[in-house]
Chain A
Amino acid sequence: MFLRIFLYKFRQISRNRVLVGWNFLFPLVLSTAFYLGFGNLIKDDPDTFKTIEAGYVNVDQSNTTFKEVLEGLAEETDAHGKIISLHNYSSKEDATKAMNNGDIAGFYVEEGYDVDTVVPANGYESTTLNQIVREYDNGKTTIENIAKDHPENMQNAINMMYENFGILKQHDFGKNTSQYLQYFFALIAMASLFSSWISTNILQGMCANLSEEGKRFECSPTSKMMAITAGILAGLVMQALANAIVIIYIQKVLTINMGAPLWNLILLSTIGSGLGISSGVLIGSIFKNKQLLFAIPLCFSMTCSFFSGLMWGQIKQIIQYHCPIMNKINPAALLTDSMYVRATYGATSAYYEDITIMLCMIAGCLIISTFLLRRRKYVSI
């Protein structure tokens, strides 16, 4: 009997065009849209440092220390990559023309002891070009101060000034997961929570006060517990399959490397589907109105997805910064976080913590639903 109900429910769900559309087709379309929008940015991060095209005009036409500094920055060394690409111009007019054409991001004009930086607009490139002049001026001031206060140490100071100091060291976390992957993780979380519709749909067919089918079911001599379990499992299998297809589509067809092993992502999304299904069962056992059984799962899944970063990638981290507890009670944020942590840092304690909370949530929803659904009596149907 269990297998029969399971198969019937599976067929019933797979024939529901709205469910198939929202739970399976919509994530596929949205992931394609995300790929079209962010695919480029995931593969080639726009924030990555790129060599700045800089112009140089020496009014006096002589070799200067500043020019040596610029030439040093234009070479790739052990201490740094190629910071600037230097273009020499004979006059300010030529350099301005090149800047207005977009050939260079700005230019330096050296006249006597003065160096001016000319840029077309404010921004990172302009600040970086200006920073080079600031560091040059700063070096001169340091040497001047030492020459004034401790002239005996002048040579030592000059030698030190030419040395490369690597006082700072970047913390290495191993992997560098793109922030735009967050949207794909949140999308999988949304698809998983959409499964709450499946369970409200299943419950509609099993509650006498909600449908004709429910009346027949409730007066049949079948074990309710077994039938509901079979229905829930059918929904879980359906959603897990749909999620697996979406994940495989993202990884293999769209060729976006999500950072974690495929089986691991599928496993996590299956737990997410369980979360969606169990929350749907809880919603279905609390609310008796047909319209609410559609509206509440929709509001629930969209609100959770929004706060997990589906529409605004930063939101989950903003919540983490200001009110971390919210991320621990939001099922979509938990699923998104577990995928992100697995992809970036591996199977750490935070990853297992997320999984444990999700499993506890599933158990909690199902236990409460069991109490709400058992021994129902209807005054009037």
Chain B
Amino acid sequence: MSVYKAILKSLRANMINILVYFSIFAIFGNISARATASTTEDMFREVVLKVAVTDYDNSLISQGLVEYLDKTQNVVDPQTEDPIEMNDNVRFGIYQYALVIPEGLSDKLQAGETEDLVDYIAPGSSMSEYLLTEKTNAYLKDVVIYIQNGYTEKEAVELTNKQMLDLDDTKAIVKDTSEENHRSFYTGMFTFNGYSLSMALCICISTAFIFMKEKDVRNRISVSGMSFKKRNVASILAVLSIGIMLTAAVIVVICIMAQESVNGKFIYYILDTLALMVIGIGIAYFISSLTENENLINMLSNMIILSMCFLCGVFVDLQFLSEGIIKVAHFLPLYWYVTAIKFINDTPINEIMCRTFGTYLMIQILFAIAFFVAGMIISKKKEQYAV
């Protein structure tokens, strides 16, 4: 019991690390899960874009256009008149489109000019650029046609606004065939968990392992009356307890955050997370066999886990990775963790517990065993050559 307690107490030194990774998880995991969660749809909803409008003309036409955009899109203040700053805002998604209506637009349109009158800033050639340009162009084209065919400026703007807003009734029919959510909140949270839990496990358990290797600690345990078997069982139980405590804490955080989007697949996500816990312990053992320096442990954990997260679809969805990278990712444990999460998300609840899911879990456990074996070999060799 004293060995068990000592290892658990050694965890105190890592409290700041644990808090940091849990905060990262709670903040960024939540943000990314909410941003990527999408549910089954049965009603058409048009994409609404953030548009920044600068109106230097202030005419009936420009005001009508701004009113139309305000009713159909999300019009925001550009906060600047500098096109470069607007471009940066568009490029980094503060808004998706910036429209600059120049002075004299109304006069030019009434005179029949129709080429290159209004400047817009958009991120290259994208869907949002196409949509907003089409909508704005269609609006101004209608106004010009009305004015050129006998209507006054006021009549033209009123008619155009009315018919443009009436177009909201033209809606597509959505035939969504997916069984449940496209991507649930759980999927987002548990995917991000691939980073935070692995990091927390690697750092905490590696330091617990090196605590056990400390000369003083080792000597004190050796002179105690505890048998070799008891000592080892206590150490293994302590490491497992740390793993289970951290994993349970992560699951509790997800439970609290996902109260609005509860679904019956939660238990399968927990199974996958337990497999991740075993991987985390395996990697931690492997790292602790390489070095006993806490700074190096921190650095190695960051290097190994961060690289795996980028390669295996934790930070960037697998669909955006190239085929070559995905092939390489097959040789990494986090890939199977993420694949299992995807499988849980996409499969109806009564079909999840099948051979495929079992295979994913088994592969993860095999990876953990591989890390343990590698760690044991390194430790043995180090002992043999007194490194």
Contacts and interface: CB of A to CB of B under 8 A. Distances in A.
A305 to B, nearest CB: 13
Contacts of A149: 150-151
B149 A170 contact: no
A53 B232 CA distance: 63
Given A121-B176, A137-B167, A33 B307 contact: yes
A179 B322 CA distance: 19
Interface in B118-147: 118-131, 133-138, 140-142, 144-146
A30 B149 CA distance: 62
Contact of B138 (A127, A135, A314): A135
A117 B320 CA distance: 28
Given A106-B172, A121-B174, A124-B47, A156 B149 contact: yes
Nearest to A43: B322
Contact of B44 (A29, A119, A146, A153): A119
B116 interface: yes
A2 interface: no
Contact of B307 (A36, A48, A316): A36
Interface in A101-127: 106, 116-127
Contacts of B149: 146, 150, 153, 156-157, 160
Interface SS of A by simple majority = helix
Contact of B145 (A40, A123, A124, A161): A161
A120 B174 contact: yes
B115 interface: yes
Contacts of B124: 45, 47-48, 176
B355 interface: no
B315 interface: yes
Contact of A320 (B28, B85, B135, B159): B85
A118 B148 contact: no
Interface string B241-274: 0000000000000000000000000000000000
A127 B123 CA distance: 18
Given A36-B311, A131-B135, A137-B167, A167 B151 contact: no
Contacts of A160: 144-145, 148-149
Given A121-B176, A138-B167, A167 B141 contact: yes
Contact of A156 (B79, B148, B307, B309): B148
Nearest to A337: B88
Interface stretch (B209-217, B223-231, B298-306, B342-350): B298-306
A116 B88 CA distance: 38
A48 B124 CA distance: 7
A167 B150 CA distance: 21
A47 B47 CA distance: 15
A317 B172 contact: no
A249 interface: no
B28 A49 contact: no
B173 interface: yes
B316 interface: yes
A126 B320 contact: no
Contacts of B74: none
Interface stretch (A6-14, A19-27, A215-223, A354-362): A19-27
A142 B141 CA distance: 10
A359 B225 CA distance: 64
23 contacts: A25-B303, A37-B321, A47-B128, A49-B127, A83-B130, A120-B176, A121-B182, A122-B174, A126-B172, A128-B127, A128-B130, A130-B170, A130-B172, A142-B145, A146-B145, A153-B150, A156-B148, A165-B114, A165-B144, A168-B117, A168-B118, A177-B91, A311-B28
Interface of B: 28, 41, 44-47, 79, 83-85, 87-89, 91-94, 100, 109, 114-131, 133-138, 140-142, 144-146, 148-151, 159, 163-164, 166-167, 170-178, 182, 293, 295-296, 299, 302-303, 306-307, 309-311, 315-316, 320-322, 325
Q: Nearest 3 pairs between A and B by C-beta? A: A317-B92, A37-B310, A117-B172
Given A137-B167, A145-B159, A169-B117, 18 more contacts: A25-B303, A30-B303, A37-B315, A38-B316, A49-B129, A120-B175, A120-B176, A130-B44, A142-B145, A145-B146, A152-B150, A156-B149, A166-B115, A167-B140, A167-B141, A169-B120, A170-B120, A320-B88
